Structure formats: structure tokens, C-alpha cells
Amino acid sequence: MPLPDAEKRAAVEPLLRPAAIGDVPYIHHLIEQYAAQGNLLPRPMSELYRHLRDFFVVEIDGTVIGCGALEIFTEDLGEVRSLVVADEHKGRGYGQMLVERILEEARMIGLRRVMALTYVPPFFRKLGFETVPKETLPEKVWGVCVKCYKFNNCDEIAVLRELK
């Protein structure tokens, strides 16, 4: 018997939630797909397990189709990291949902600024971020970027949003 329309819609409604331990293989798979395209740095599964509590996921019908994390650098600055939406689900607002949830979390814990390094600055500008020189973010550059293989040839754009 086919599902009534309301039940069909409920079955495919996206669920935005904190990541759970069982999500790590799915998060890793999404990140690896983007990393293979050169759009994101790879992250080993061991690191994802250690940073699990930083992550939020979007789930549809029991499948994780997107993820994003809030990494904290100082009492003032956090970063949107590992923002990924599966290719077949792009353009439906799931990335925006994740960033808005990450910003909400940043506000709740008292951060004043959130940054990201990105290849798609227009996406972040729509969400109130502004392009800034990487040098204005020494917490990121000297804490994380300096260890990256792209350090001397980084082609990502830094964006920043001030929180109120």
C-alpha cells in the first residue's frame, strides 16, 4: 500500500542533528569524495572520532548526506570546517542549514567570530561572511595551516563573520 503524501514527505524530510559515533564512516566518505576532487583537505578517521562532538550532520531517510563542524581556536574565534553535502543533494539548502546550525552553536558558547577557508566564497557571503586576508587569522594560519601541504601555495579564500 503506498504511503499517504504526508508520510512520504516525512520520510524524506532532512534531519539536522549532532553527529553520532556511527556517522563517522559516512562523514569520512563524504570528506574523502571532496578531497579527491581537491575541494577539501582529507581527514583521517581517527581525527574524525576525536572531533566527533564538533560535527553536525544532515540525514535524509536514515542516510547522512551532509556534514559540517565547528572547530574552536580561542575564546574569540571558531571555524566552519569539513562542510560537505553529497553531490546529488547540492542546491537544496542543506549546506546553509549546516552553517546556520554551526553559527548558532558558536553564539551559544560565546564565540564572537567564525571563519572558514573556502573555494566558494559567494556561498559564505550569502550567509553574512566577508572575505578577509588570511593574515588576519593567525590562530588558524599558525595553528593549523602551517602543517598543511598547501601552506606555501594555499588557494583557499578566507571568510569571516562577526557574531552578535
pTM for the structure as a whole: 0.84
Confidence of residue 20 (pLDDT cuts 50, 70, 90): very high
Three state DSSP letters for the chain: CCCCHHHHHHHHCCEEEECCHHHHHHHHHHHHHHHHCCCCCCCCHHHHHHCHHHEEEEEECCEEEEEEEEEECCCCEEEEEEEEECHHHCCCCHHHHHHHHHHHHHHHHCCCEEEEEECCHHHHHCCCCEEECHHHCHHHHHHCHHHCCCHHHCCCEEEEEECC
Kindly report, residue by residue over 32-56, the tens digit of the pLDDT.
Answer: 998 888 788 788 999 999 999 999 9
19-20-26-32 Cα dihedral, nearest 10 degrees: 60
State the DSSP code for 14: -
Mean pLDDT of the chain: 86
pLDDT above 70 as % of the chain: 82
Per-residue cell: 80: 566552519
Domains contained in the chain, CATH given = 5-162 (3.40.630.30)
Kindly report, residue by residue over 73-109, the tens digit of the pLDDT.
Answer: 889 999 999 999 999 999 999 999 999 999 999 999 9
Per-residue cell: 87: 553531490
